[in-house]
Amino acid sequence: MKLVQNQSTMSLTVEQIAAIKAFINKRGFNTIEVEMEALDHMASKVETLLEEKPDMNFDLAITKAHADLGIFGFATFEDAILEGIKVGSRRKFKQELISYLTTPKALVLLGLIILGFSIQQTFFENLTAITIMGGFFFYGLLLSSIPIYNYWTTFKEWGKKSLVIQNSIVGFYITFFLFARGLGDITRIEFTDGSRAFPFLFTLTFVLITLSALISVSIMKWSINSFTEKWLKYA
């Protein structure tokens, strides 16, 4: 019978892991992060109980492991997991953002600034406002295809949605549409009042949107790497 290795001294069988998964899934968890954290906790607790009393009924061990979570069971546990994920994601976002200012990634930031300004100077002088906005929205859709591809790839592999990846995609879209709206207003001013601020503001918008996509992908990769290890352990 195939065994699944864990951090403790004994191992659970594939059938036992499946039983714990089924117990957890009955509680309605539908994200990989919550399921893997709950599974890791429950599996370790069940193993400890079976080590202490090898003759204990396995179903009873699951029940006891769940009871140890307290009167609210997985509800409190889930809240703690979700809060931890939010804190971890925010910390990762700050780390990535700072890395584009203080590490060799600053060269990427410099390259984006030069590229954005060059695009504006080279292509936009003889274009209409509608053409400019159309091109910008196309660029945003192109950038969004990267995180969406990551989402579908991991969803098919894990068979579960990822909260971190979903939030990264939503965060990118919110950032994109906010800046797109601002750029729309800036473009209208440029073509009505001849604003000299347009090249600077376009470059800033281009850089921030691109940077948002790059950071979103980095957060996704961080999440994928973090939970793939646990997913493989219990696959």
Q: What is the pLDDT of residue 135?
A: 80
Pairwise CA distance, residues 56 & 116, whole Å: 66
Q: What is the pLDDT of residue 179?
A: 79
Q: What is the pLDDT of residue 8?
A: 40
pLDDT of the chain along its 235 residues, tens only? 344 444 443 478 888 888 988 888 787 777 788 888 888 888 988 999 988 888 888 989 998 888 887 777 777 777 888 888 888 888 998 999 999 999 999 999 999 999 988 888 887 767 677 777 778 788 888 887 777 776 677 666 666 677 788 788 888 888 888 777 777 777 776 666 656 777 787 888 889 888 888 888 888 888 888 777 777 777 6
Q: At what angle do helices 106-123 and 74-102 cross, to 10 degrees?
A: 70
| Cα distance between the two ends of the chain | 15
Pairwise CA distance, residues 9 & 11, whole Å: 7
- Structure tokens that stand for 36 in this block: 């893997």
Pairwise CA distance, residues 198 & 119, whole Å: 13
Q: Is the dihedral of CA 207, 209, 215, 220 positive or negative?
A: negative
Count of positions (residues) in the chain:
235
Q: What is the pLDDT of residue 192?
A: 62
User: Are residues 100 and 77 in contact, defined by beta-carbon separation less than 8 angstroms?
Assistant: no
Nearest residue to 117 (alpha-carbon basis) of 215, 198, 213:
198
Residue extents of the structural domains in the chain: 3-68, 87-234
Q: How far apart, in Å, are the Cα atoms of 128 and each of 117, 181, 190?
A: 18, 17, 10
In sequence order, which residues have a C-beta less than 8 Å from that of residue 144 and are 6 or more positions away?
A: 169, 172, 173, 176, 213
- Structure tokens that stand for 172 in this block: 């990118």
3-state helix, strand, coil in the chain (%, to 5): 80, 5, 15
